Amino acid sequence: MLFAAPKIPRVAAARVERALIELDRAVGQSKLVLDETARRVYAEDDSQSEACMPDVVVVAESKDDVAAVLRIAEAHEVPVTPRAGGSGRTGGAVPVAGGIVLATHALNQVVEIDRENLTAVVQPGVVLGTFHSLVEGENLFYAPDPNSAELCMIGGNVAENAGGPRAFKYGSTRDHVLGLEAVFMGGRTMRVGKRTVKGVTGYDVTALLVGSEGTLGVFTEITLRLFPKPSQVATLLALYTDVRAAGASVSRLIAAGLVPRCIEMMDAATLGAVRAAGNAIDERAGAMLLIEVDGEDAEAQLERLGNALGDAQGTLDLVVAQDSAQRARLWAARKSLSYATRKMATHKIAEDVVVPRSRIGALLEKTEAIGAREKVRHLTYGHAGDGNLHVNFLWDTPDEEPRVARAVESLMRETVALGGTLSGEHGVGLAKAPYLEFEQSADLIALQKDVKRVFDPKGLLNPGKIFPTGHKGC
């Protein structure tokens, strides 16, 4: 395991025992998961973080269940880790101190879709892909689209402020959350935010809770902003000799004033994995951009794209998807990248660093140098329009792990040195907590810890996340 759990003591068994008696009374036996095999599923997420067993999993079916868990946990000082789909990439849902995992997947109702005001109210366990299909069936559109849409849930997206390819035009999850109902430690339930698109009353507590990684409160209802479904969508594939030429094209089309909804980039090693997965891609190509535009003028935008990208140096081919089936095939290849590239080695870690777009080329050069120095295989793909790249390191055997850990640390340092940030969408969780101080001052970290204490004075809600606490590299 690349990231050992932080050295946080597990909660004492006697406290758990006392909490269990009350939980049994408050939520009922049927919602408690105690069986060891069943609990094991909740010990890890989709990161390279060490698994940690919870003492009990509570499958909440109502906000009263959530409130009861947080009341009992506070009274008996038992840690609680909220969980949605478990697809997180930074160990956010891993219960490092044991205690209770508060599973929210059964809170899965779409409470309301308000066509007139273009809003929706959902519970946190709604699977994102299901929600996309539902609103699109009504000719509406919910923009955030992490590539894990069939696995992740909206509560997890809100907690991580998830992004995805369409964030380039539409922003990340935070830009689409109008308000929340949240339960805090002790069981206090509150509504924050608004139902209107505009509103500036008081501090923006909604914005603070979005991206709080399950450390401040547990969401039980989320009010989202919708858009009318774009009438046209068009997709263009651009093939390049190498990533530098592809990166230069990204800058060129943005400078031309074009705002595609997605600009996704894949490097040569990634294209190798895409080909190995059965997709025929010109063998000369050493990089690819997948660009998508939407709106009534999608055709006109495509033409402008073609003119902007045109015959620039290193361009091999520009191919427009002819129909929705071809579009779907292109996106299926993009969305399966994570799993396709996983086949290239026994282990893989996907970082999600962001640099100013103008520094993408520099980041790729630094990554090359890090890979060569540490002798670690790597590949890069991601949301190039945002400067948000998934640098993946690959390895097979445990003896390689110290080199991979050094490569990750170097990547974090180089990203910050280039004016970037450690995470564009996966959050800090366990995996990036040791590097937080590379980017943020001691004062800023202390301020955030003060905020955490206001919400959770005993430090029981999702301990060990975001802030460096007794972390140990592998």
Q: Which of residues 152, 224, 349, 360 is near ligand FAD by CB under 6 A? A: 152
Q: Note whether 393 binds ligand FAD by CB under 6 A.
A: no
Q: Using the rule CB under 6 A, which residue among 338, 392, 415, 423 binds ligand FAD?
A: 338
Question: Taking contact as CB under 6 A, which single stretch among the options 155-163, 194-202, 223-231, 325-333 is the one that binds ligand FAD?
Answer: 155-163
Shortest Å distance, C-beta 307 to ligand FAD: 29
- Out of 6, 54, 98, 156, the only residue in the binding site for ligand FAD (CB under 6 A) is 156
Indicate whether 214 belongs to the interface with ligand FAD (CB under 6 A).
Answer: yes
Among 425, 434, 456, 471, binds ligand FAD (CB under 6 A): 425
Is 162 one of the binding residues for ligand FAD (CB under 6 A)?
A: yes
> Taking CB under 6 A as the rule, does residue 193 contact ligand FAD?
no
User: Alpha-carbon distance 161 to 405, whole Å?
Assistant: 25
Shortest reach from residue 173's CB to ligand FAD, in Å: 8
From 426, 432, 452, 471, residue interacting with ligand FAD (rule: CB under 6 A): 426
**What is the rounded CA–CA span in Å between residue 368 and residue 370?**
6
CA dist., res. 321 & res. 302, Å (int) = 11
Work out how close the CB of 122 gets to ligand FAD at its nearest, in angstroms, rounded to a whole number: 11
Beta carbon of residue 144, minimum distance to ligand FAD (angstroms, whole number): 8
Instruction: Show contacts with ligand FAD in window 123-142 (CB under 6 A).
Output: 124
Segment 253 to 312, residues that bind ligand FAD, using CB under 6 A: none
Please tell me whether residue 87 binds ligand FAD under the rule CB under 6 A.
Answer: yes
Q: Is 82 in the site for ligand FAD (CB under 6 A)?
A: yes
Region from 48-56, 152-160, 356-364, 401-409 binding ligand FAD, contact rule CB under 6 A = 152-160
Question: CA 120, CA 222: separation in Å to the nearest integer?
Answer: 8
CB of 190 to ligand FAD, least distance (A): 13
Q: Does 223 bind ligand FAD (CB under 6 A)?
A: no
Question: What's the min distance (Å) between Cβ of 81 and ligand FAD?
Answer: 6
Q: Which positions lie near ligand FAD, rule CB under 6 A?
A: 45-46, 81-89, 92-93, 104, 124, 146-148, 152-153, 155-157, 159-160, 162-164, 213-214, 218-219, 338, 425-426, 462
